[in-house]
Amino acid sequence: MDILALNCGSSSVKYQLYNWAKKKIIAKGMVERVTIGDSYIIHEVPGRETYREEYECPDHKVAIHLIIKTLVDEKYGVVKEITQIAAVGHRVVHGGEKFNCSVMINDKVLDAIKEVQHLAPLHNPPNISGIEAAQAVLPDVPHIGIFDTAFHQTLPEHAYMYAVPFDWYEKHGVRRYGFHGTSHLYVSKRAAVLLDKEPKDCNIITMHIGNGVSHCAIKGGVSIDTSMGLTPLEGAIMGTRCGDIDPALPMFMQQQENLSAKEIDSILNKKSGILGITGQFTDRRDVIEGAEDGDERCKLALEMEGYRLKKYIGSYFAALGRLDAVVFTAGVGEMAWMIREKALDGLENLGIKLDKEKNKNTMTRKRETEITTADSPIKVFVIPTDEELVFTEDVVAILNKSYTDHMNFTYSFSGKDFSLG
């Protein structure tokens, strides 16, 4: 049984084809520049050279046609017949309060996703376009929605509400939702295995640090707080997003620079964060190199990011009351030892004793590593995330009617005998 995972952005479609019987990825790739011209596909198959084809994709339906065409291609494909694809899993960024777990997509579910698209106007519309396009191209297979926000639907009211007029919540759904849910789910369950405990017995802080960054306080296996809010703009410093700022700042700059609300929104989402501080970089490798070469703004960016990460660890420790482990994941979290060191420096009194040599030598996305000393009361792990595996297991379990929700379902990666591959 082959499962196709799709992640549709406004101008791209990422895909992965997973063979469930063999428990391995058989192909993955991306269609870039969808709807904007000069589009192309990058197709990767283990053991083969990467294939690229220029192919005009004016909409998501054509892009998904291109993906299917490539998967069944005699020379570059990996399946003989499209009927080998048993189901399609769709990443949906925002499910609002309507979805607390993955679900089979039908007309009612699709309508519900459309009803909350105002909460994620940059993300949900392309997600919806991708679902409708895939349903048109693959009408005879089940389509399942996997929601970024579902994992955080366990947040208590006092954690997800904002101190703004209450009718904003009642009328418009204004509250904290959180994102990167599948990543926080995966690494927290892997951390429980490394701790030799059940997830229900673990208190963990997960730090997903890539271009987008979010943190999660997980108590007894469920999310009780998270850094991203109504939108992915709130929280940590990110590649191009500002994260937490004075709420009056956007209005102040609108007046000072005579900017529109749309322009301010674009600046805070696309021209701020690490890019805003350094003036030129979003990739932390470039920032670290610049800092080592003496660039003062790169040095400042690293100090600011490390300081903000440290504050989140401290605040979530307070919220949890007891802490078993901190987990770093995603591209920066898994590879940038310097940023991890800055985030953990000085936390010995909290019970976190960093092994600096282990930390420096941990720059891989292929293994799970403990980077604290043997006598550290609180462990720190670097765990490669695998959101696509969560997608795939949810899809298969829904097809098999064995899925309940992420709190009660037993994932393969929750077992001690699970192999990263």
Residues annotated as catalytic are 148
218: helix, strand or coil: strand
Judging by DSSP bridges, how do beta strands 213-219 and 369-370 pair with one another? unpaired
- For residues 260 and 248, is the Cβ–Cβ distance under 8 A? no
Q: Give the number of C-alpha atoms closer than 13 A to the C-alpha of residue 157, restricted to the C-beta side.
A: 2
Q: Give the number of C-alpha atoms closer than 13 A to the C-alpha of residue 406, restricted to the C-beta side.
A: 30
Which two three-digit tokens encode residue 130? 């991708």
As a whole number of angstroms, the distance between CA 156 and CA 168 comes to: 18
- For residues 152 and 182, is the Cβ–Cβ distance under 8 A? no
Q: Tally Cβ neighbours within 10 Å of residue 32.
A: 19
As a whole number of angstroms, the distance between CA 416 and CA 421 comes to: 14
- For residues 188 and 218, is the Cβ–Cβ distance under 8 A? yes
As a whole number of angstroms, the distance between CA 233 and CA 252 comes to: 18
